[in-house]
Amino acid sequence: MKGFEKINLPNIKNIIVVASGKGGVGKSTVSANLSVALARHGFKTALVDADIYGPSIPKMFGIEDAKVEAGVIDEKQVMFPVEKDGLKIMSIGFLVSKNQGLIWRGPMASNAITQLLENTKWGAIDYMIIDLPPGTGDIQLTIIQKLNLTGAIIVTTPQEISLNDVRKCASMFSNPDLKVPILGVIENMSWFTPKPHPDEKYYIFGSGGGSNLASEYNTKLLGQIPLVAEVGEAGEQGKSIFSQSNKDIIFVFEKITEALT
């Protein structure tokens, strides 16, 4: 987008935002595990938690108590990202108490995310994944305007109420003044399969939502993630899904990574 001074991140090859129209659809879970999958494929990967008001990435990686180290390089004060699971991770959660709520207006939050991106010493990165907050507010617009984005991934659940909100999010990226390519759609909580009956699928939130959305925006359905207890348990334990025994979930994220790269 023209007319805005871009943040200079010359050593980062690809910047991909992960977005959703509403909270609770598993966007941060997708961001975290997609980042780990990229790192497992040998890519130098960074993960940015851009949800200023509700950062969840530190919890998902078990690094809530981590503190960012600072230093001076070429007379400029910089921060060094926290490293875990082969990733370079940055979140506002590292800079404030985990129980502290940020009561900031939009411009202040936008300035914070700009500094988080610009003043961090990233090094050479193949893929930077940015976990956006839900919706279409100031932080999303700041990132779109100030970064040269490779594209966006849209996360949804199958039910229509989720799709209605996600369409608004997708339309933001396809706005003629913004023009961010939508790289694909990921449908989360696609179906439930009980452990005793691995061949059965129950579409408790409906079906076809992700593929319909992908068709509407002329993009592809990157993957469908089933509703599995291990995914939530991994996040609660501060681990990625690759630490779990469920091979189906691991296979899904591997296929999403291959489709993306």
Domain parsing of the chain, residue ranges: 17-260
pLDDT of residue 80: 96
- Cite the beta strand spans of 95-177 per DSSP E: 125-131, 151-156
pLDDT of residue 103: 66
DSSP per-residue letters across 69-107: EEEEETTEEEEE-EEETTEEEEEGGGTS-TTPPP---HH
pTM over 0.85: yes
CATH of 17-260, one of 3.40.50.300, 3.30.10.20, 2.60.40.10, 3.30.300.30: 3.40.50.300
Q: Note the pLDDT tens digit of each residue in 97-112.
A: 666 666 667 678 888 8
CB 45 within 8 Å of CB 39 = yes
What are φ and ψ of residue 190, in 5° steps?
-65, -40
Q: Which residues of the chain have pLDDT under 50?
A: 1
pLDDT of residue 46: 98
pLDDT of residue 102: 63
Q: Which value, in Å, is the radius of gyration of the alpha carbons in the chain?
A: 18
pLDDT of residue 154: 96
Give the SS3 label for residue 36: helix
